[in-house]
């Protein structure tokens, strides 16, 4: 059985242009994946209209859609909501489950929430995994032991060397160790708006960062998304650019 998953990240409805939205929709309809995975930042400012637009777009596909929140999906300036009910706007449109799961044959995709309300440093966009989150992840991994596990989260769990000036997610090393021990296949994430695939010889689980699918803040990289193919041979990831690539920042990689 071959499973084809479309991994999108950083849609940023609220700043995404209509042309880019139409282009992404057409590309996904052409690709006809078995499921769509979205690794956060569905919106620009966690506003209701932005969530409604994202939900309208994602609801247009006739396949399962799994989404986890990103740092842009909690209020930025409404500190009352940010600290007391940070995911209230998200849950209004995406239901109560912020760590959803998807089972496709022997493959299980686990959504992992890495969004943080605040940090001791200035980069409040950075992610983190508290001990409570790590314990919950360990329990879920135990539940699915023996299955082929893919983790979907917003923040990279391995911080790329080129991500200078960005704070890595705290607790990420412990999460990677849990995933390695559980034999997880891959980590799918975003946040950095630039694609990244693991170097040859990178340890398991391999991490694939998708480019921003729709944000105009592409940091030198074109918009795009990752097509993840899983079959008996393993897992392959190929970046699908929505415009000709400016730089070859993410060569196809396999695991």
Which residues sit at the interface with Fe ion, rule CB under 5 A?
Answer: 10, 41, 70-71, 191
Q: Which two tokens stand for residue 141?
A: 């991994």
| Region of residue 56 (left: phi > 0; alpha: psi -120 to 50; beta: else) | alpha
- The nearest distance, CB 14 to Fe ion, in angstroms, is 11
Task: Compute the distance between CA of residue 19 and CA of residue 236 in angstroms, rounded to an integer.
Answer: 29
Nearer Cβ to Fe ion (71/207): 71
- The nearest distance, CB 192 to Fe ion, in angstroms, is 8
Nearer Cβ to Fe ion (149/209): 209
Nearer Cβ to Fe ion (32/118): 118
Q: CA quadruple 152, 155, 161, 162: dihedral positive or negative?
A: positive
- The nearest distance, CB 70 to Fe ion, in angstroms, is 4
- The nearest distance, CB 125 to Fe ion, in angstroms, is 6
Nearer Cβ to Fe ion (191/194): 191
CB 46 within 8 A of CB 75: yes
Q: Which two tokens stand for residue 193?
A: 């708006």
Task: Compute the distance between CA of residue 154 and CA of residue 9 in angstroms, rounded to an integer.
Answer: 8
């Amino acid at each position: 059985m071959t499973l084809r998953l479309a991994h999108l990240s950083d849609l940023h409805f609220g700043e995404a242009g209509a042309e880019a939205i139409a282009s992404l929709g057409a590309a996904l309809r052409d690709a006809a994946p078995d499921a769509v995975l979205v690794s956060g930042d569905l919106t620009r400012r966690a506003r209701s209209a932005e969530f409604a637009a994202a939900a309208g777009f994602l609801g247009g596909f006739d396949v399962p859609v799994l989404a986890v929140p990103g740092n842009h999906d909690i209020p930025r300036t409404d500190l009352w909501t940010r600290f007391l009910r940070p995911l209230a706007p998200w849950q209004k449109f995406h239901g109560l489950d912020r760590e959803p799961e998807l089972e496709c044959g022997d493959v299980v995709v686990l959504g992992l929430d890495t969004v943080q309300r605040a940090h001791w440093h200035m980069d409040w966009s950075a992610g983190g995994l508290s001990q409570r989150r790590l314990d919950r992840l360990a329990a879920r991994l135990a539940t699915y032991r023996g299955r082929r596990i893919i983790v979907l989260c917003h923040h990279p769990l391995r911080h790329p060397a080129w991500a200078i000036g960005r704070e890595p997610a705290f607790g990420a090393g412990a999460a990677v160790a849990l995933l390695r021990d559980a034999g997880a296949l891959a980590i799918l994430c975003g946040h950095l708006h630039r694609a990244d695939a693991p170097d040859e010889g990178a340890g398991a689980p391999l991490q694939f960062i998708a480019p921003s699918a729709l944000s105009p803040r592409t940091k030198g990289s074109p918009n795009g998304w990752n097509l993840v193919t899983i079959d008996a041979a393993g897992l392959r990831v190929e970046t699908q650019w929505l415009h000709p690539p400016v730089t070859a920042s993410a060569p196809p990689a396999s695991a």
